[in-house]
Amino acid sequence: MQLNADFSKRAAVHGGNIEWVKSPMPGVDRRMLDRLGEEVARATTIVRYAPGSKFSPHVHTGGEEFLVLDGVFQDEHGDFPAGSYIRNPPESSHTPGSGPGCVIMVKLWQFDLSDRTHVRIDTNKMRALPDNSRPGVSVTPLFHDDREDVRMETWEPGSEVELEVPHGIEVFVVDGSFVENGETFQSQSWLRLPCGDTLRASTGKDGCTVWIKADHLKETPKPPAA
């Protein structure tokens, strides 16, 4: 399957407006944002766990990262409430599920295969720091290496946000809304801009909280070899 697979072009999906699609696991549904591959895929997806649902134990050969949007995600490593950011690197394993149910935004097969860094962050316990170069913007760093930069940003009401993206960017709306290129992005909306583009966004009266991954499209993504 190929979905928003041309990384040289702008891509946008309003996840809150599309239907849930059943996954192979009962009780687990998906909203696909981009995808290269079949069940083993380089993918960005919104996933909903019904209360009491879970996956069988499995290994993430290509790694996974996710942000908990609602409810509580659970595995043998702990309980992760909304606002938790998790990176499970390649060759890590777990048994994911949720007693109360949850919704997450998850990215698969987008790691350096030599990466072995685990990250477990509760963003609710972190304070966003003002970005002095961009008025109205505060930043909560989540992960950074020579391949990518991952962070949460809070854009204050009435802000004009401009950011050059020489190596691409993805923006996922957690709360609030913004307008870009005449298009309104609300909760669960996702925007990807290609290398060399510029993000120009404006917020309304409620401002916006977004999850951002940047500088990760230096090389054209490919589907997993597996």
Same-domain check for residues 102 and 142 = no
Shared-domain flag, residues 55 and 133: no
The pairing of beta strand 41-49 with beta strand 84-88: unpaired
- Does one domain contain both 192 and 114? no
Q: Which residues, 6+ apart, have CB-to-CB distance to 58 below 8 Å?
A: 93, 94, 95
Whole domain around residue 35: which residue ranges? 2-122
Is the residue at 223 inside a domain?
no
What confidence score (pLDDT) does residue 154 get? 98
The CB density around residue 133, as the number of other CB atoms within 10 Å, is 7
Rounded Cα distance between 68 and 37, Å, is: 24
Are 10 and 100 within one domain?
A: yes
In a domain? residue 222: no
Q: Could you tell me if 172 and 108 lie in one domain?
A: no
- Domain co-membership, 91 together with 158: no
Based on the fold, state whether residues 111 and 158 are members of the same structural domain: no
Residue 105: closest CA among 153, 75, 69, 72 = 69
What integer pLDDT is reported at residue 225 of this predicted model? Answer: 78
Do 31 and 65 form a contact (C-beta atoms < 8 A)?
no
Region of 196 on the Ramachandran plot (φ > 0 left; ψ -120 to 50 alpha; else beta): left
Separation between Cα atoms, residue 218 and residue 60, nearest integer Å? 23
Q: Are 46 and 143 in the same domain?
A: no
Query: Does residue 33 fall inside a structural domain?
Result: yes
Q: Is 19 inside a domain boundary?
A: yes
> What residues in the chain have per-residue pLDDT under 50?
none
In a domain, 39, yes or no: yes
Q: Which of 84, 100, 122 is the last residue of a domain?
A: 122
pLDDT in tens, 154-169: 999 999 999 999 999 9
43/3 Cα distance (integer angstroms): 9
For residue 20, give the CATH number of its domain: 2.60.120.10
Domain finish residue from 95, 122, 149: 122
pLDDT attached to residue 38: 85
The per-residue pLDDT for range 66-78, each reduced to its tens digit, is 999 999 999 999 9
In-domain check, residue 15: yes
Same domain flag for 205 and 141: yes
Domain boundary among 77, 106, 122: 122
Does residue 221 sit within a domain?
A: no
Residues 7 and 97 reside in one and the same domain? yes
- Asked whether residue 106 falls in the same domain as residue 178, the answer is no
How many domains in the chain?
Answer: 2
Same domain? For 104 and 186 the reply is no
- Can you spell out the DSSP letters for the chain? -EES--TTS-EEEEGGGS--EE-SSTTEEEEEEEEEESSSEEEEEEEEEPTTEEPPPEEETT-EEEEEEEEEEEETTEEEETTEEEEE-TTEEE--EESS-EEEEEEES-S-TT----EEEEGGGS--EE-TTSTTEEEEEEEE-SS-EEEEEEE-TT-EEEEEETT-EEEEEEEEEEEETTEEE-TTEEEEE-TTEEEEEEEEEEEEEEEEEES--SS-------
pLDDT of residue 226: 60
